[in-house]
């Protein structure tokens, strides 16, 4: 029987280290159930506002800084994400979800502008510039994908003239995040992936993870009296690696079954035999080291980090105290134990490779995973390509606290929700959980739907939110090349109001993105359609106007082709002509 | 009076059928509301409910892509109890709308403007159906019943068109103008019925008073009245909504076709497949095409204005941007007024079998495309072509019959003989 120690997930460690130095980085490793491993990379660089304004950049990347200055951006949040955080088995998200993004790309920023139009123009400048910087399709965030959230986001930084600030939010759920986005991300770091924890970041492993999110957050932070402002840029990479999968060698990545002699079989199964085996769950923690699972070795400390103090402890691992951890390096390192020995931190040697090695070990104690404040899942109900309904199921696992939150949906314009069908039900109480609604309907081809709901769930209850929607049929040029795959719908963003977070970051939960199949026309036959429709119209028009402009005479009163054929007609014409000349 | 008894019986049975269908099959209204053949983006009851919901929650329903119907419907339907919980009031309203429409249709039939207008007496004018039969043909037409159950706002448009025709054929100028302005306000294209109905009203007035007032003065007065009535309605709407943005969301949508939801008409697939650079050009051409029938028919058939109006409703059912079977049913209910033309029609079997074919195969092909996935958009498109072709065959054939009928009066010696068009 395993006993569980309370896990103190230590965001606080990072919180108090802020503003102490101009550059700070930390990697936190946390083994999760079923041989998963959460790796949270955090990099922070500060620049004083004065030197930023004078375009004097030291740790802050010049490329990004100039974009922010040009677009009048005061605070920026950019996310690149892949996969799904499995809250049922992994517990609460790192950073309370505040550094998480919806699948694809998510961007929100506070821009300084005098009017909404100016803010939007600057937003377009920003997205286009970031698109170039991060090799992402951010330039496709146009008016139809941009919303102005009302309740869901609060600025993290200190803004003194907040009256002229405009918040804009855009998502690209279809964007596939990949190596070309990681390379510019690493280049923004002072050590550029050559030294320090960033030397572990390898595209092959990062984008092979079960879940990963890369975040960039830029915000101004001021002292108590409102002076000594610094501009802080935080870069975060969170990933959940499958240890078994990550350890596969790159030249032989296909998993192959082990020989049956090496598998521990469940002999209680009736079909267990020489050649049939039901594998037993491995109760032992799997062995791993940094080089195996990241595919690279850690190249020692980044020389810009602090020599001592909190900032020097760059690699931390959160395991039960009994777990054996062996540090392998030729240089000098320092191990510190924190939080009743559940966290071990290492000060890295400079200029020498560093690795930690965890052997296979049968554990007697485990760590309790913190439960997330809410479980959220969203799906599309109904069948057919004409209409459907959205169902969001949000569960409050706490037995004592009720949870109040804001639910934000940003839907594409071709998905037309019917707000009068919106229903929210809580299974334990008959009262309406919706406290407040903000709704901005979509306009075809101009803007998307923006829905924000402020809701509350009583303890240990489940809230079910449903609404109907209709799918529009698009012009054939508006479909992407893989039209029958469907369109991606951005994840819903849930921000907790109470219980909230102590800091300014907020607590967030996101659902997965949805795939929306739309009715498709036949792409191969625009000419045929034009011809056939025109034929029917011509038949109607021709028939009617033929009747209108001609007059009736008796059939025997006119000369026809019938009597003499072509010859007869010609003869008739000639006679008529001759008659004209002779009379005239 | 036996006649009135018949009428009461007819209306009673028709109302009973509708209310029975509403109550016996509570899911039927919503099912039919979702059918693209009945509900178009500009008439759908579900979209109307959404508009009313937004209106009662102080969100402008026109600042969105869902609601494209006239603003005055909003206060009307917000007065009714929510149809999701108390559908009876709405059901009753739509039943009454149908009965009033049938009543107006019977008034048209009784006025006898179809076969014997002022300037023209058909040689077959005694061949006619009673107004009861025509009313029953409207009330028990399955298309009318499904339209009533699905509750699109085109039922209201149809009612106002029928009332304006009835009042015009009675020579009641003021009510005719008022009803037509309501119809045009709701659906825009009925304004094209104004020229033939104005002539009809003029003829009816002249027959009644036995004197002919100057046509020009009559026309000017009524045009001004129509402009005033429409202006009043639009101004009232603007007062109600607080801005003029509803114009773009209602009439702008009908003109420019931004919503390409499938319907039984010809426009949606054509503009789905249209090349972007030609979109505006063809929108212009298509609208010009619809409008072009008005002067042509009105001038050529000056002596039979009611027939022109009827034919125009048929043309609207085929060639307007968002037609539904509600438009088709209006035309098909008006055609029996011209019973005397039936012997002269040549393609009755072809047209009726085409219409029946399209009505049965259409829903099946739509299912194959949208739900089963075993067909593609061309299946439903082909059926809309057949439907449009069937209706335009009836339009063209009845027009031929009307002209042939005129010829029989002009040149009685050609009666029954083969004729040619030159």
The CATH number given to whatever domain includes residue A486 is 2.60.40.740
CB A257, CB A265: distance < 8 Å: no
Half-sphere exposure of B258 (CA within 13 A, CB side): 18
- Indicate whether A131 and A251 sit together in one domain: yes
Q: Pick from A470, A552, A562 the residue to mutate for testing the B interface (most B CBs within 10 Å).
A: A552
Higher pLDDT, A56 or B281: B281
Count of beta carbons in the 10 Å neighbourhood of residue B80: 15
Residues in chain B closer than 8 A to A521 (CB atoms): 269, 272-273, 376-377
pLDDT of the residue at A533: 94
- Indicate whether A420 and A549 sit together in one domain: no
CB B89, CB B122: distance < 8 Å: no
Mean pLDDT of chain A: 86
A484: Cα separation from own chain's centroid: 22
Whose CA is closest to B191, among B254, B138, B235?
A: B254
pLDDT > 90 in chain A, percent: 37
pLDDT of the residue at A161: 64
What's the pLDDT tens digit per position in A82-96? 989 998 888 888 888
Would you say residue B80 lies in a domain?
Answer: yes
What is the spatial distance between Cα B333 and Cα B126, in angstroms, rounded to a whole number?
20
- Indicate whether A412 and A503 sit together in one domain: yes
Mean pLDDT of A435-447: 91
Out of A483, A516, A549, a domain closes at A516
CB B106, CB B135: distance < 8 Å: yes
Nearest chain A residue (CA) to B288: A541
Domain that holds residue A56: 3-257
- Indicate whether A562 and A497 sit together in one domain: no
Nearest 5 degrees, angle CA A496-CA A498-CA A504? 65
Would you say residue B101 lies in a domain?
Answer: yes
pLDDT of the residue at A123: 94
Put simply, the answer to whether B395 touches A533 (Cβ < 8 Å) is no
Q: Any idea which of A44-53, A132-141, B74-83 has the lowest mean pLDDT? A: A44-53
- Indicate whether A192 and A223 sit together in one domain: yes
pLDDT of the residue at A11: 45
- Using a 10 angstrom Cβ sphere, with 0-12 exposed, 13-18 middle and 19 or more buried, the burial of residue B104 is buried
Residue A352 has pLDDT above 70, yes or no: yes
Q: Pick from B36, B41, B48, B66 the residue to mutate for testing the A interface (most A CBs within 10 Å).
A: B66
What's the pLDDT tens digit per position in B82-93? 888 888 999 999
pLDDT of the residue at B305: 92
Nearest chain A residue (CA) to B277: A477
Instruction: Give me the residue from B59, B385, B395 closest to A536, CB to CB.
Output: B385
- Indicate whether A238 and A121 sit together in one domain: yes
Put simply, the answer to whether B50 touches A420 (Cβ < 8 Å) is yes
Whose CA is closest to B122, among B410, B332, B334?
A: B410
Instruction: Give me the residue from B318, B378, B417 closest to A540, CB to CB.
Output: B318
Would you say residue A220 lies in a domain?
Answer: yes
pLDDT of the residue at A18: 47
Would you say residue B238 lies in a domain?
Answer: yes
pLDDT > 90 in chain B, percent: 77
What is the spatial distance between Cα A120 and Cα A142, in angstroms, rounded to a whole number?
9
What is the spatial distance between Cα A351 and Cα A363, in angstroms, rounded to a whole number?
34
What is the layout of strands, in order, in the sheet containing A493-498? A434-440, A449-457, A403-411, A493-498, A507-510
Domain that holds residue B25: 2-248+261-411
pLDDT of the residue at B46: 93
Taking only residues 135 to 194 of chain B, the set having a beta carbon closer than 8 angstroms to any beta carbon of chain A reads none
Residue A17 pLDDT level (bands cut at 50, 70, 90): very low
Would you say residue B255 lies in a domain?
Answer: no
- Indicate whether A381 and A455 sit together in one domain: yes
DSSP designation for B371:
I
Residues in chain A closer than 8 A to B404 (CB atoms): 552
Q: What are the DSSP calls for A314-342, one per residue? A: EEEEE--TTS--EEEESS--EEEEETTTT
Residue A348 pLDDT level (bands cut at 50, 70, 90): confident
pLDDT of the residue at A321: 85
What's the pLDDT tens digit per position in A319-331? 888 888 888 888 8
What is the spatial distance between Cα A462 and Cα A572, in angstroms, rounded to a whole number?
91
Residue A4 pLDDT level (bands cut at 50, 70, 90): low
| Mode of pairing for the β-strands spanning A73-83 and A104-112 | antiparallel
- Indicate whether A167 and A203 sit together in one domain: yes
Nearest chain B residue (CA) to A447: B64
pLDDT of the residue at B329: 94
Would you say residue A115 lies in a domain?
Answer: yes
Give the number of domains in chain B: 1
Whose CA is closest to A493, among A117, A211, A93?
A: A93
Mean pLDDT of B174-195: 94
pLDDT of the residue at B209: 84
Would you say residue A337 lies in a domain?
Answer: no
pLDDT of the residue at A19: 46
- Indicate whether A512 and A539 sit together in one domain: no
SS3 call for A520 = coil
- Indicate whether A432 and A554 sit together in one domain: no
- Indicate whether A386 and A493 sit together in one domain: yes
Put simply, the answer to whether A474 touches B419 (Cβ < 8 Å) is no
Q: What are the DSSP calls for A361-392, one per residue? A: B--SEEEPPPPPS-EEEEEEES-SSSEEEEEE
Higher pLDDT, B24 or A332: B24
Residues in chain A closer than 8 A to B275 (CB atoms): 477, 526
Min Cα distance A388 → chain B (Å) is 11
Most confident of A268-272, A350-354, B81-85, B142-146: B142-146
What is the spatial distance between Cα A335 and Cα B52, in angstroms, rounded to a whole number?
67
Put simply, the answer to whether B66 touches A558 (Cβ < 8 Å) is no
Residue B300 has pLDDT above 80, yes or no: yes
Put simply, the answer to whether A439 touches B59 (Cβ < 8 Å) is yes
Would you say residue B386 lies in a domain?
Answer: yes
Q: Any idea which of A216-225, A398-407, B233-242 has the lowest mean pLDDT? A: A216-225
Three-state secondary structure readout of B203-271: HHHHHHHCCCCCHHHHHHHHHHHHHHHHHHHHHHHHHHHCCCHHHHHHHHHHHHCCCCCCCCCCHHHHH
User: Is the alpha carbon torsion for A129, A135, A141, A142 positive or negative?
Assistant: positive
Would you say residue A487 lies in a domain?
Answer: yes
Would you say residue B401 lies in a domain?
Answer: yes
pLDDT of the residue at A14: 45
Size of interface A-B (CB pairs under 8 A): 169
- Indicate whether A107 and A207 sit together in one domain: yes
pLDDT of the residue at B124: 84
Residue A547 has pLDDT above 60, yes or no: yes
What is the spatial distance between Cα B325 and Cα B154, in angstroms, rounded to a whole number?
10
Summary count for chain A: helices (H), strands (E): 11, 28
Residues 6+ apart with CB under 8 A from A117: none
pLDDT of the residue at A495: 92
Residue A562 pLDDT level (bands cut at 50, 70, 90): low
Mean pLDDT of A255-283: 80
Would you say residue B281 lies in a domain?
Answer: yes
What's the pLDDT tens digit per position in B323-347? 999 999 999 999 999 999 999 999 9
Would you say residue B270 lies in a domain?
Answer: yes
CB A276, CB A263: distance < 8 Å: no
Match 């997965």 to its residue by tokens: A512
Give the number of domains in chain A: 3
Residue B52 has pLDDT above 80, yes or no: yes
pLDDT of the residue at A419: 92
Taking only residues 292 to 311 of chain B, the set having a beta carbon closer than 8 angstroms to any beta carbon of chain A reads 292-293, 296-297, 300
pLDDT of the residue at A412: 93
């Amino acid at each position: 029987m395993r006993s569980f120690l309370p896990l103190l997930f230590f965001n606080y460690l990072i919180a108090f280290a802020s503003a102490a130095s101009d550059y700070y980085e930390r990697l936190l490793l946390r083994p999760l159930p079923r041989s998963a491993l959460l790796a949270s990379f955090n990099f922070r660089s500060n620049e004083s506002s004065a030197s930023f304004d004078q375009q004097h950049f030291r740790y802050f990347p010049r490329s990004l800084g100039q974009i922010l200055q040009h677009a009048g951006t005061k605070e920026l949040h950019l996310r690149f994400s892949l996969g799904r955080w499995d809250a049922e088995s992994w517990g609460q998200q790192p950073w309370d979800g505040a550094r998480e993004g919806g699948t694809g790309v998510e961007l929100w920023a506070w821009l300084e502008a005098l009017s909404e139009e100016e803010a939007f123009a600057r937003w377009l400048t920003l997205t286009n510039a970031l698109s170039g910087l991060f090799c992402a399709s951010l330039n496709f965030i146009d008016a139809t994908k941009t919303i102005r959230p009302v309740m869901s986001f609060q600025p993290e930084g200190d803004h003194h003239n907040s009256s002229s600030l405009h918040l804009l939010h855009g998502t690209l759920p279809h964007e596939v995040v990949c190596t070309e986005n990681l390379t510019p991300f690493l280049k923004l770091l002072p050590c550029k992936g050559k030294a320090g924890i960033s030397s572990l970041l390898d595209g092959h492993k990062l984008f092979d993870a079960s879940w990963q999110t890369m975040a960039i957050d830029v915000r101004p932070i001021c002292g108590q009296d409102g002076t000594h402002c610094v501009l802080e840029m935080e870069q975060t990479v969170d990933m959940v690696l499958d240890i078994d999968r990550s350890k596969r060698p790159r030249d032989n990545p296909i998993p192959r079954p082990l020989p049956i002699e090496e598998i521990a079989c469940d002999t209680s199964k009736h079909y267990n035999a020489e050649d049939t085996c039901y594998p037993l769950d491995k109760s032992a923690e799997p062995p791993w080291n940094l080089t195996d699972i990241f595919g690279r070795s850690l190249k020692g400390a980044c020389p810009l980090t602090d020599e001592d103090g909190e900032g020097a402890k760059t690699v931390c691992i959160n395991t039960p105290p009994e777990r054996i951890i062996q540090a392998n390096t030729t240089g000098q390192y320092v191990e510190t134990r924190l939080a009743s020995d559940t966290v071990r931190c290492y000060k890295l040697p400079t200029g020498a490779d560093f690795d930690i090695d965890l052997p296979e070990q049968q554990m007697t104690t485990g760590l309790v995973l913190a439960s997330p404040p809410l479980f959220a899942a969203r799906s599309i109900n109904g069948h057919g390509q004409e209409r459907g309904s959205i169902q969001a199921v949000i569960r409050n696992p706490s037995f004592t606290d009720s949870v109040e939150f804001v639910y934000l949906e940003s839907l594409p314009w071709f998905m037309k929700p019917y707000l009068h069908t919106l229903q929210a039900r809580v299974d334990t109480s008959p009262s309406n959980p919706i406290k407040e609604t903000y709704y901005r309907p979509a306009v075809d081809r101009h803007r998307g739907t923006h829905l924000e709901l402020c809701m509350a769930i009583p303890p240990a209850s489940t809230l079910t939110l449903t609404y109907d929607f209709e799918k529009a049929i698009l012009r054939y040029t508006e479909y992407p090349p893989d039209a029958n795959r469907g369109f991606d719908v951005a994840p819903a963003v849930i921000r907790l109001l109470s219980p909230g977070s102590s800091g300014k970051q907020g607590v967030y939960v996101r659902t997965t993105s949805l795939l929306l199949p739309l009715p498709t026309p036949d792409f191969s036959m625009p000419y045929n359609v034009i011809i056939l429709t025109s034929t029917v119209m011509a038949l109607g028009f021709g028939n009617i106007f033929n009747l209108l402009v001609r007059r009736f005479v008796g059939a025997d009163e006119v000369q026809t082709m019938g009597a003499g054929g072509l010859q007869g007609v010609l003869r008739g014409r000639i006679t008529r002509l001759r008659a004209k000349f002779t009379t005239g | 009076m036996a006649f009135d008894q018949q009428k009461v019986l007819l209306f009673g049975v028709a109302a009973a059928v509708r209310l029975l269908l509403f109550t016996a099959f509570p899911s039927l209204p919503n099912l039919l509301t979702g059918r693209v053949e009945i509900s178009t983006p500009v008439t759908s009851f579900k979209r109307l409910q959404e508009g009313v919901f937004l209106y009662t929650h102080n969100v402008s329903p026109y600042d969105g892509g869902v609601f494209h119907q006239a603003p005055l419907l909003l206060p009307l339907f917000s007065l009714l109890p929510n149809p999701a919980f108390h559908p009876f009031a709405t059901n009753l309203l739509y039943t009454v709308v149908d009965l009033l429409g049938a009543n107006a249709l019977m008034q048209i039939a009784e006025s006898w403007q179809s076969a014997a207008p002022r300037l023209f007496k058909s040689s077959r004018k005694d061949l006619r159906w009673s107004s009861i039969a025509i009313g029953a043909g409207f009330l028990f037409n399955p298309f009318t019943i499904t339209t009533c159950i699905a509750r699109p706002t085109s039922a209201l448009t149809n009612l106002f068109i029928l009332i304006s025709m009835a009042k015009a054929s009675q020579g009641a100028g003021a009510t005719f103008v008022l009803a037509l302005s309501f119809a045009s306000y709701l659906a825009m294209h009925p304004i094209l019925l104004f020229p033939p109905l104005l002539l009809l009203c003029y003829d009816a007035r002249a027959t009644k008073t036995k004197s002919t007032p100057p046509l020009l003065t009559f026309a000017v007065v009524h045009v001004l009245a129509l402009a005033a009535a429409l202006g009043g309605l639009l101004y009232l709407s603007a007062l109600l909504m607080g801005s003029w943005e509803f114009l773009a969301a209602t009439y702008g949508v009908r003109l420019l076709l931004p919503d390409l939801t499938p319907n039984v008409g010809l426009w949606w697939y054509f503009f789905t497949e249209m090349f972007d650079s030609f979109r505006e050009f063809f929108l212009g051409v298509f609208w010009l095409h619809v409008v072009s029938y008005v002067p042509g028919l009105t001038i050529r058939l000056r002596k039979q204005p009611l027939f022109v109006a009827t034919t125009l409703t048929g043309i609207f059912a085929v060639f307007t941007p968002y037609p539904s079977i509600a438009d088709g049913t209006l035309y098909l209910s008006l055609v029996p007024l011209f019973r005397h033309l039936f012997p002269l029609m040549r393609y009755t079997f072809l047209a009726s079998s085409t219409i029946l074919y399209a009505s049965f195969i259409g829903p099946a092909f739509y299912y194959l495309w949208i739900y089963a996935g075993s067909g593609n958009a061309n299946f439903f498109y082909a059926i809309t072509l057949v439907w449009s072709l069937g209706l335009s065959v009836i339009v063209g054939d009845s027009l031929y019959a009307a002209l042939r009928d005129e010829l029989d009066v002009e040149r009685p010696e050609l009666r029954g003989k083969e004729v040619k068009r030159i």
